[in-house]
Amino acid sequence: MEAISDLNTFAKILTAKGYDGYFQTQGAYARKLKDSISEYLADNLKGIAKQDLLLKGYLQWAGDDKPRVECCMWVKYLDGKFFLNKMEVARKDQFGQLLKQEKLTDLSVVTAPKAKEAIAMVSDAPEQKAVHKQKRFSF
């Protein structure tokens, strides 16, 4: 588990990996990653902020009637340093039913997969269509 010394570096690395959408910290503060964490920490008095932060957001969204890919990140916050502890990526249908899920542990912000790789982990593999050969009679 690798520590990133400040929020700017932590957010910059994850944003570069494609985690550039909106996230919620502890179920509130729906903003971009850095802004969500910053606002959570600012709203919680010094030293009272929880040490384990839950960041949740969508990696892929195509509308209410389509499947989506959600991402949950558990981040430890100790003495102003951020540690990415584990990540859960889940693909759900339009009704919220789980289609496929991957749990990643023993991560760091550096070893976390890129957002596209995380989406690919839970996406259906493209189906290969069988080539139908037309049967012909031979004499």
Read off the pLDDT of residues 33-77 as tens digits, 9 standing for 90 and up: 999 999 998 888 665 566 789 999 999 999 889 999 999 999 998
Confidence of residue 80 (pLDDT cuts 50, 70, 90): confident
Q: Is residue 128 part of a domain?
A: no
120 token code pair: 């690919």
The upper half-sphere exposure of residue 106, i.e. CA atoms within 13 Å in the direction of its Cβ, equals 0
Q: What are the structure tokens assigned to 63, written together?
A: 């509308």
Q: In terms of DSSP bridges, do strands 98-104 and 81-92 run parallel, antiparallel, or are they unpaired?
A: antiparallel
Joined together, the tokens standing for residue 114 give: 């890129």
> What pTM value is reported for the model?
0.80
Query: Domain for residue 28, yes or no?
Result: yes
pLDDT tens-digit map of 88-105 = 999 999 999 999 999 999
Does 135 fall in a domain?
no
What confidence score (pLDDT) does residue 35 get?
94
131 inside domain: no
Q: Is residue 132 part of a domain?
A: no
In the prediction, which pLDDT does 77 show? 87
- Number of structural domains, the chain? 1
Q: pLDDT at position 44, please?
A: 81
For residue 40, what are the domain limits?
7-122
Residue 3 has pLDDT above 60, yes or no: no
d(CA 55, CA 29): 10
Alpha carbons 44 and 108: distance in angstroms, whole number = 25
Distance CA 8, CA 114 (A): 18
45: three-class secondary structure by DSSP: coil
